[in-house]
Structure 1
Amino acid sequence: MARNVPQSGFRRVLWERPADPALVRAAGSVAARESPRRWMGEHQVPDGVTLDRDFGAIPLGPGPAERAISPMAFHPRQSARFLVRATIPVGPSGEIPATLDGGAIYSDAEIRTTLTCGSSRPVGTEADVRTRLDTGVLAQNGLDGRGVAIAIVDVGISLARLSTRLGAPPLLDVDQSWSPPNIVSVPGRHRVGHGTMCAFDALVAAPKATLLDIPALAARSAGDHTAAGTIGAAIQAYWFLITRWVLDGRPAGLSSLVVSNSWGIYHPSLDFPAGHPGRYVDNPNHPFRSYVRTLTLAGIDVVFAGSNCGPECPSAPCLKRVTGAIMGANAYPEVLTLAACTVTGERLGYSAKGPPIAGMMTEKPDVTAYSHFLGSLSQSRFTADAGTSAACAVAAGCVAALRTVATPTPTSAAAMVQVLRETALRAGPTNERNEEFGFGILRPVEAGRSLGLIP
């Protein structure tokens, strides 16, 4: 880019770059959880562009719309394209280019944990959730999550708090966990908060599961002290999971992986303008989908919160926008998307209704799970584990429990989603699928019977 181009500001983006030795080495450093700064300093970019050297380079693999995905396309030495994070200049109009130096520009949209209304009192406790899910029946049939990993993609887990609440430390695999390069705290030793809540809730149905701490949402730009993360950090985390669970084969002692994502984007204004080819919220061809598809095609279950922009009680960051509120990866067809209800079966007012944003899969949410109960006490002694965040984590635990026996070979990720839809308890204004509850309230025991895991 010429130096004399008028500039009115800068924008952080994800940028597609052709392979070169520096990017290959940088990607290798990221995979090894080492700093890629040295190698990124050797990659040449146009004038006015600044690379995020800590982000490194992530193999881009095949396009998200391609039917067949070769996992080896994500190997650094096999990938023809890489994603880097860069700050680029924008002109006086503020218009973001679709390409730069021959490489596509994609949104690195701001994502946040799915917060919720704090004024309502909790409804029930985690004991009530166990009762509703019939976890005793799951346990009697050996469906307790043993040998299954649950990756909590969030802001980090406090193992000490979980140990206090559970009476004993849960299983945590530090070697299979991942942190953004700018995070100092180690897996399991993060601040008590949203990630700890999600980990606790995932263990309700799968108490013997092994946690993976993936604090992607703790990644922040320098000087940014909000709770926001980025799609770029999620891409880094997912590529790490691909290297460990797809390229290298499954880790010893772990048969299955469930990826729990209690996060999303709250408003389209946080993304590129409508119509930009690199936009995230309504773009099924954003590169993040390639990483999601690669995991699900390998038999790995990916679970997402719906949204907390329900019409009766939308969270403040929704800016009162309550239609088409399920956006981005939360609306991908490959993932299981959750709405939220109380243990009494009442839909929570902040749980977003479908359909999702135009341009994405129309039948979202898929199912509903329990939320707004006293559980982890990660915020205070009187604050509920709430939002579609808690519902997502509860559902991820249910899937992990079923995966104790239902390994990926006989039951694909897509088949698991279908079984959970078919066996859900119909709820809401009709006895059929509806925009409030999806296909109904999750029933893991019925799903287990359908899979032949429970007599």
Structure 2
Amino acid sequence: MAKKTKGMDQGNGDEIRDVLLEIRVPTGQRTLATSFVQTMNLTGFIPNEDAIPIEMTPTSAMAAELESAGEASLILEGQVRADQIEALEANPNVIKVWSNAPIEPFNFELQEAVETNPTLDLTPMAPGDCPVGTCDCAASVPKGNLNDVARYLGVNQIWARGIRGNGIVVGVVDGGITATGRTLTPGEAPARTINNVIGGWPTTTWGTQGRGWSYHGNMCATDVLGMAPDARLYDLRIAGASSTGTVSNALQAFQWAINQFRANGTPQILTNSWGMYQQSWYADYCTNPEHPFTRKVVEAINTGIIVLFAAGNCGKTCPDGRCSTDNGPGKSIWGANGHPFVMTVGAVNTRSEFIGYSSQGPAALDPYKPDFCSVSHFTGYFNSDNGTSAATPIAAGVVALLKQRNPRLSQFDAKAALKDTATDIAGTGWDANTGSGIINAWRAFNHHRASGTVLPAPSPYVATQFTGTLAPNQTHTWFTWGWPAHWHVLWSMMPTTNAGKVKWQVKVERASDAQATYWITVTNVGSVTTNFEGRYGVMG
């Protein structure tokens, strides 16, 4: 194991671990994975018979090898004893054993925060205590309602043009939605049901429950519709009253969304208001961009789905109690929530005050996070919809309006339009607290990237796409696909090991009229084993 984590630490040998097992199978066996696995001698692995095997885009380190061998990568969900993980990973059919990490919603838990820190002052902080002007830590006190949010962001001006989200489907990946017209599961008692829900996953029980995360999913659905009232919703339930939220559930939900999008072009948008509060919970997910769920998020984006994630509630000024010591800059945005491709959403209120628990960059997977801030602390489904949980579906609703105007809008177009037109409240340019600033729906609606006019970006966009390790004289090829073909992309490999030295060669393949694939061959020409980052810059 490359990392030992709470989920994968082998110290307690008889402890049963929930895991994601990545295996290699002949390409023709992908649909017969369950029966084929029985021939693999996967000692100690107990598969979850209810979970569908998920085909994966291979890791960058395995892609070329699997392709040349005519093999595919599959994820199986199951359990294994901690002291059997090492032997399982030694099996030639096994690529890696990954953690199946538990996840939680990014609503701000006021009581838990106070119990963890009894001296916590939840009144607005003085400027000296806040990284950006005056901070709002009063999560239970609304600063307006959904109509106020719409006016604040300029959404009402878009509505006046007849754009209200018609034809757009937003997938709410969350703890479930209680949908109008569906028979609710016994024990459900929502304040109200949610209109416009047309389907979802699990396919037989969508729209029937939401109490597992205390109707957090109803809140997110309400907030999407508050900005895009004519949009439709999919309920993608990844936690329930009798089931803990896990990344395996999210993996299944994302796969369903990808399959659905390939079949009929929906959902066009996925909003995610959940994640990890501490790196120590499951470090292999928090810090490794190759974790299967994070790769599935990238696949969704490359397929054409626009994906937003909440930054989290572990900002330094007044972090949620679940954050423990993992709070503040560089210790609060984990896993897929901070991947370079996704839109990572922080939080402000309608007074343009930074919300003091909004997680701060750099993220574990990208130093330039969050991307921007949206609005929280308003009356929506609850008296006060709060957390970066509320800010993210507000932003997703805005993206739905942009998508209705321009059906060809991509992840990168939407992100550029929102970042370029954001209202800066923390000095000039991007910062690790508010990103590019507070989104402005009306200005973004009129931005050339949202309207469909492709122009060079006004400034370079840079990030790290992958990481690698090479022994002296070792050469390896990575590839990354689904890049807009009109982009001008520059690649560089940067050693992160002292005295490390690498050289690289980039080849580009025109995969389609709209997309390109980059093949990057890296050689360690130094004398020490070298870690490096594969960095890119989009110049226009």
TM-score scaled by length of structure 1:
0.79
Alignment match, 2:437: 440
C-alpha displacement at 1:66, in angstroms? 9.5
C-alpha displacement at 1:166, in angstroms? 12
C-alpha displacement at 1:100, in angstroms? 4.4
1:138-192 deviation per Cα after TM superposition (whole angstroms, max 9, x unaligned): 1122321110010000000122499x99999632222xx1128xxx843255446
1:213-256 deviation per Cα after TM superposition (whole angstroms, max 9, x unaligned): 001133966xxxxxx4111111111111111112x3425xxxx6
Q: Do residues 194 (structure 1) and 190 (structure 2) align? A: no
Secondary structure of residue in 1 paired with 2:315:
coil
C-alpha displacement at 1:370, in angstroms? 0.4
Counterpart code for 2:387: G
Distance of 2:57 and 2:359 partners within structure 1: 33
Distance of 1:356 and 1:48 partners within structure 2: 35
C-alpha displacement at 1:197, in angstroms? 0.2
Alignment match, 2:305: 300
Distance of 1:341 and 1:196 partners within structure 2: 21
| Structure having the larger proportion of residues in strand | 2
Alignment match, 2:195: 170
User: Out of 281, 287, 291, which is 2:292 matched to?
Assistant: 287
Distance of 2:62 and 2:40 partners within structure 1: 30
Alignment match, 1:17: 23
Secondary structure of residue in 2 paired with 1:82:
strand
Alignment match, 2:237: 215
Secondary structure of residue in 2 paired with 1:99:
helix
Equivalent residue runs for 1:326-337 within 5 Å: 326-337=333-344
1:361-408 deviation per Cα after TM superposition (whole angstroms, max 9, x unaligned): 11100000000111112xxxxx41000000011001000111012113
Equivalent residue runs for 1:81-160 within 5 Å: 81-91=73-83, 99-102=89-92, 103=94, 104-118=96-110, 120=138, 121-160=141-180
Alignment match, 1:373: 378
Distance of 1:178 and 1:26 partners within structure 2: 22
Instruction: Please report the RMSD computed on the Cα atoms of aligned residues, expressed in angstroms.
Output: 3.3
Larger CA Rg, structure 1 vs 2: 2
- Asked if the contact 2:210–2:240 (Cα under 8 Å) also holds between the matched residues in 1, the reply is no
Distance of 2:273 and 2:71 partners within structure 1: 30
Which runs of no fewer than 5 residues in structure 2 stay unpaired?
1-11, 111-121, 123-137, 183-188, 453-540
Distance of 1:189 and 1:67 partners within structure 2: 39
Distance of 2:60 and 2:166 partners within structure 1: 33
Give aligned-pair identity as a percent.
Answer: 29
Alignment match, 2:360: 353
User: Out of 260, 264, 268, which is 2:271 matched to?
Assistant: 260
Distance of 2:82 and 2:403 partners within structure 1: 48
- Asked if the contact 2:190–2:215 (Cα under 8 Å) also holds between the matched residues in 1, the reply is no
1:57-88 deviation per Cα after TM superposition (whole angstroms, max 9, x unaligned): 111133368999xxxx9xxxx97221001212
Secondary structure of residue in 2 paired with 1:87:
strand
345-354 or 58-67, which deviates more: 58-67
347-356 or 78-87, which deviates more: 78-87
Alignment match, 2:423: 425
C-alpha displacement at 1:113, in angstroms? 0.7
Equivalent residue runs for 1:306-321 within 5 Å: 306-321=311-326
- Asked if the contact 1:117–1:350 (Cα under 8 Å) also holds between the matched residues in 2, the reply is no
Distance of 1:97 and 1:129 partners within structure 2: 54
Distance of 2:158 and 2:232 partners within structure 1: 17
Alignment match, 1:224: none
Alignment match, 1:391: 391
Alignment match, 2:401: 401
Secondary structure of residue in 2 paired with 1:280:
helix
Secondary structure of residue in 1 paired with 2:226:
coil
Equivalent residue runs for 1:28-67 within 5 Å: 45-63=41-59
1:409-429 deviation per Cα after TM superposition (whole angstroms, max 9, x unaligned): xx321121111110101112x
Counterpart code for 1:82: L
Secondary structure of residue in 2 paired with 1:218:
coil
Relative contact order higher in (CA < 8 Å, ≥ 6 apart): 1
- Asked if the contact 2:206–2:236 (Cα under 8 Å) also holds between the matched residues in 1, the reply is no
> Residues 397, 109 of structure 1: CA spacing in aligned structure 2 closer, same or farther, 3 A cutoff?
same
Distance of 1:264 and 1:185 partners within structure 2: 23
> Residues 48, 295 of structure 1: CA spacing in aligned structure 2 closer, same or farther, 3 A cutoff?
closer
> Residues 147, 205 of structure 1: CA spacing in aligned structure 2 closer, same or farther, 3 A cutoff?
same
Counterpart code for 1:132: Y
1:258-291 deviation per Cα after TM superposition (whole angstroms, max 9, x unaligned): 100000111112114xxxxxx1111112222332
Alignment match, 1:80: 72
Secondary structure of residue in 2 paired with 1:440:
coil
Alignment match, 1:8: 14
- Asked if the contact 1:117–1:313 (Cα under 8 Å) also holds between the matched residues in 2, the reply is no
- Asked if the contact 1:219–1:230 (Cα under 8 Å) also holds between the matched residues in 2, the reply is no
TM-score scaled by length of structure 2:
0.67
- Asked if the contact 2:376–2:391 (Cα under 8 Å) also holds between the matched residues in 1, the reply is yes
- Asked if the contact 2:169–2:233 (Cα under 8 Å) also holds between the matched residues in 1, the reply is yes
